[in-house]
Amino acid sequence: MSEVVTRFAPSPTGYLHIGGARTALFNWLLARQHQGRFLLRIEDTDVKRSSGEMTRAILDSMHWLGLDYDQGPFYQSQRIEIYKDFIQKIVQAGQAYYCRCTPEEVEEMRSLAREKGLKPKYSGRCRELSLNPGPDTVIRIKTPLSGQTVYQDLVKGGISVDNSQLDDFVLERIDGTPTYNLAVVVDDIEMGITHVLRGDDHINNTPKQIILYNALNVSPPLFGHVPMILGPDKKKLSKRHGALSVTAYREMGYLPEALVNYLVRLGWSYKDEEIFTLEDLLARFSLDNLGSSACVFDMDKLRWLNSHYIKQADVNRLASILTEHLDPDLPPPDVGYLEKIIPLLQPRAVTVQEMSEMAHFFLVPDEQLMIEQEAAEKFLTPEARENLREIADLLEKLDSFDLSVLESALKSYIEEKNIKFKTIAQPLRVALTGRTASPGIFETMEILGGERCVNRLRFSLNR
């Protein structure tokens, strides 16, 4: 196989969404697996809707996911003159023509075709009029009037479209700007793209683009259209299903490796395996294993994958990520202190945002610890408060505050009082953490340290 060159070409009219991220991932894997090139192109010809902020967000998301590119980003807005030159080549070859039909006239043509039960399309009124360019003209391609446009889809197999179903679509608008299909074909030719993997919402564009390649006497790349992503109700994926941007998932506390792992499984499989690192994917990814049927977005599976990767993550790295999710009103935490907290939370947290919420009581100043009212009413009873007072005095006298010393001291206390551990366990937890659920009480106390534990016990008694 000659050098494989793929591309990802988002439009900066919004953040990078999960469908686009999956497309980028598939193209990145194909190029990397064949030691080819992966290009990034920003399709920003829609000047009104494109923004620099969205472009930066897309680039940041690509970097966060680990999808590096060999060339680019290329910006279509900087390539308008190149598109014009290619359009003129097609005109001069007799494969395109000037058209002065107004949008209203074109819509009337389509309405008449619908009334006759025909394909609604431009009628070709100006096709043979040999019009000259003018301020009110567009340029249209001469689509073949008969025959079929045929190609072998890398995912769906053989596809053919009757040319009679296609109209003479516009290449250049009245304002001189190129249309999407023209710009894409020119870019892919100039950049040497050999394989185009994209969502099957683009499948209707492919015959038009192949016609443009033929008009330019250039062999088209290989096309592959990956299946749509549906919600659990089998309807088009929307925000209520989880169709959020990559940025949103990052802000929610998902790890990039979890999102990459999940996205690749939306339309691709390898035996019965579910867990894949990027290194695994580079070794195992194959176009042969791309599915052709729609796949369902499963938020529970994404959460499961994220919890798996949180458990596996390096504590130092998690500490760095966690700082991005902490309450900004908290005092800046010491990294070493965070690294002691995180191992207690890794088995429990599904997202880093959840970890942040679980870690809050470790980080809040003692006098600002909020105790849940229901927990206080249930567990901070007069009897419990008396025990906590005595335990505070006991803890204050300890020379060491490690786990074994704490366990021994409290074991002696409950034996002396002839009570069960559960008599003091929840009152201690509520007084120290403000809640009824936390990591193990002794582990929690050890990390909080003696001074903070005594302070919190006494603060809770004075409320």
Residues with a catalytic annotation lie at: 239
**Helix, strand and coil percent figures for the chain, each rounded to 5:** 50, 15, 40
Rounded Cα gap, residues 307 and 318, in angstroms: 13
Structure tokens at 100: 């002065």
User: Where do we find the tokens 């953040």?
Assistant: 15
Rounded Cα gap, residues 238 and 302, in angstroms: 16
CA-to-CA dists, residue 332 to 239, 323, 337, 423, 453, angstroms:
34, 8, 11, 35, 20
Polymer length of the chain: 463
Rounded Cα gap, residues 319 and 2, in angstroms: 44
Rounded Cα gap, residues 380 and 388, in angstroms: 9
Rounded Cα gap, residues 226 and 191, in angstroms: 22
Please tell me whether the peptide bond between 135 and the residue prior to it is cis, using omega within 30 degrees of 0: no
Query: Quick check: helix, strand or coil at residue 209?
Result: helix
